[in-house]
Homo-oligomer: A and B are copies of this chain.
């Protein structure tokens, strides 16, 4: 019996053949679109120095970093007092010099700084790699998961924002997922906070506004009051809370409210440019201005995006925005960027829920040759070679097993065609081809075999 202790670390996953085929379908779709827009792939090491990682994700993030015990005598340099002090936070940076990457953004910033001499700006890079977080595992939250990021650094042009929205639109069109793209701008939020004189309450305000549909205007205002926002500010907020209509109508109302805030008006202007340009280009999916969108508020400085699937309940499946000073943390200021990140695990679940995987995407072997023994196999092997030369994914069953077992193998692997050759077939220089879906069998030449299997994809 197998050892019961055989297991994998909690929060991690094995991906079997079918899951891998589905995941590759998602990754390849995203990669193809990134490449179509001129983004180039990079990869960074799984491990970074703790100097690079620590202090970049807040205290909580520092705790959730996976740290690698130093090789050799990792206790060297630690006094008995150090050890008996049992200060785990302090000791860990003495025991460990390296950690696993927590996201792709900090390694990318480190990459840009290290390779700045050889980079051509604007630099459009994409990166699809796993990240690790020592989070408490939950349904849908893993300790190892892939991120699929694209960023442009070294260009302030809003055309980058436009392109990223086009990329989002194209990826989900290709995947067949209908989505709503939400857009906001950090400068508009800053403008609102400025106008009502409550700069530090902007998160509370967006949280309250977000509840309008559920709890109604009176309750939203009550919540704002309870949150310590003065009546005068709440008064000024009314047109923003009640914001409705098309994106253009909304922007007109916001521009009026923010007329005294330079930053706010800049945000309106940026958003107008992005939305107008996208309208002219004609996306398949709707882009909606949503002031309650406030993801990563401390991080983003301009446009903010978020994407939700329309036909199945799921959180955000893609997000991003513009940030200033990506590389400032590594001593290289003044480089702004804008990026998006596709949530591969959630996109996987959406495709599963809506049954949207194309048959070809998960197809494995197309043709299996039955093994009747050494003589038959010697006859079949050159034909197997011909089929492969024609690009058909082909297997010869390696063992002379019972027919039932071999057919069971074909069924379990979802193989579309089975080929057999006994004395008859060998005499005629042909094989019998069975279509596993219809059960139909016919005697065919090698050329006919190839044509038949190919015609079924």
What residues of chain A have their CB less than 8 Å away from a CB belonging to chain B? 1-3, 5-9, 12-17, 20-21, 24, 35-38, 40-49, 51-52, 63-64, 66-69, 71-75, 80, 83-84, 86, 88, 91-92, 95-98, 100, 110-111, 113-116, 118, 120, 122, 124-125, 130, 132, 134, 144, 152, 155-157, 159-160, 162-163, 166, 277, 280-281, 327, 330-332, 364-365, 368, 371, 377-378, 381-382, 385, 388, 391-396, 398-399, 408-409, 412-413
Bound-state CA distance A93–B78 (Å) is 19
CB<8 Å pairs between A and B, sample of 28: A2-B114, A3-B331, A6-B52, A7-B49, A8-B45, A8-B48, A9-B49, A9-B98, A14-B44, A14-B45, A14-B111, A15-B42, A16-B115, A20-B40, A36-B391, A46-B132, A47-B66, A66-B69, A67-B68, A67-B69, A68-B68, A68-B69, A69-B69, A80-B84, A120-B413, A122-B399, A159-B371, A166-B385
Bound-state CA distance A144–B107 (Å) is 16
Q: How many copies make up the complex?
A: 2
* Cβ–Cβ < 8 Å partners of A64 in chain B: 71
Bound-state CA distance A37–B392 (Å) is 9
Give, as a whole number of angstroms, the nearest-CB distance from A264 to chain B: 22
Main secondary structure of the interface of A (DSSP, over half): mixed
In contact, A118 and B67 (Cβ under 8 angstroms) = no
In contact, A95 and B114 (Cβ under 8 angstroms) = no
Bound-state CA distance A45–B14 (Å) is 6
* Cβ–Cβ < 8 Å partners of A124 in chain B: 395
In contact, B13 and A42 (Cβ under 8 angstroms) = no
* Cβ–Cβ < 8 Å partners of A5 in chain B: 51
In contact, B69 and A96 (Cβ under 8 angstroms) = yes
Cβ-defined partner of A41 (8 Å) among B20, B35, B75, B157: B20
* Cβ–Cβ < 8 Å partners of A75 in chain B: 86, 88, 91
In contact, B157 and A399 (Cβ under 8 angstroms) = yes
* Cβ–Cβ < 8 Å partners of A12 in chain B: 45-47
Given contacts A12-B45, A398-B155, contact A38 B2 (CB under 8 A): no
Give, as a whole number of angstroms, the nearest-CB distance from A39 to chain B: 9
* Cβ–Cβ < 8 Å partners of A368 in chain B: 38
In contact, A331 and B277 (Cβ under 8 angstroms) = no
